[in-house]
Amino acid sequence: MKNKALMFATKAHEGQTRKNSDTPYITHPIRVAKRLEMESYSDELISAGYLHDVVEDTPYNIADIEKEFGTRVANIVAAHTEDKSKSWKERKQHTIDTLKSAEKEVRYLIIADKLDNLLGLEQDLNEQGDAIWENFNAGFEKQKWYHQAIVKNMYLGLEEDEIPCYFQEFEKAVNRVFG
């Protein structure tokens, strides 16, 4: 299933590149899935890691994911998917609200995704400086609010032994980037 998800996502994101670079977009879902795999999570969650941006950024929809990968993977992807018809603030508030009550596998995916994005942003800031904020729908202050709200809510309802080490890595990255 994991290999099938990788192939599906690679095809779906073909020709797309990462923000601020010419790096193929698929490198991001691969890193997210690999982080989940390093934690020995389920094949369904790892597959969702590969597929997490397919519905937002390609012509495929949740029904396509469900048909190819089953209800469990589709539900994880759907819980993580933003509704692009909504404003930036509404989309981000939805993610924050999802973190407050989502099952732990959805949380694991959200934080793995946000961590990878934030590490990329941090690298871009180091290389290109503060001008990087002009490439975002929301600048520094809104991004700071969003990332700090994620940190505040990502631990809710999780027992200490259910918190992967990359949650702390995300929290440290938020502190480095946003102070």
Q: What helix, strand, coil percent values describe the chain, rounded to 5?
A: 75, 0, 25
Phi/psi of residue 126, each to 5°?
Answer: -65, -35
Residue 160 is among the residues annotated as catalytic for this protein: no
Active site residue 127: no
Q: In whole angstroms, what is the distance from residue 52 CA to residue 73 CA?
A: 10
Q: Of the residues 37, 39, 43, 57, which is catalytic?
A: 57
Sign of CA dihedral 67, 72, 75, 76: negative
Residues 6 or more apart from 62 whose CB is under 8 A from it? Answer: 55, 74, 77, 78, 81
Determine which one of 56, 66, 82, 169 is catalytic: 56
Among all residues, which ones are annotated catalytic?
56-57
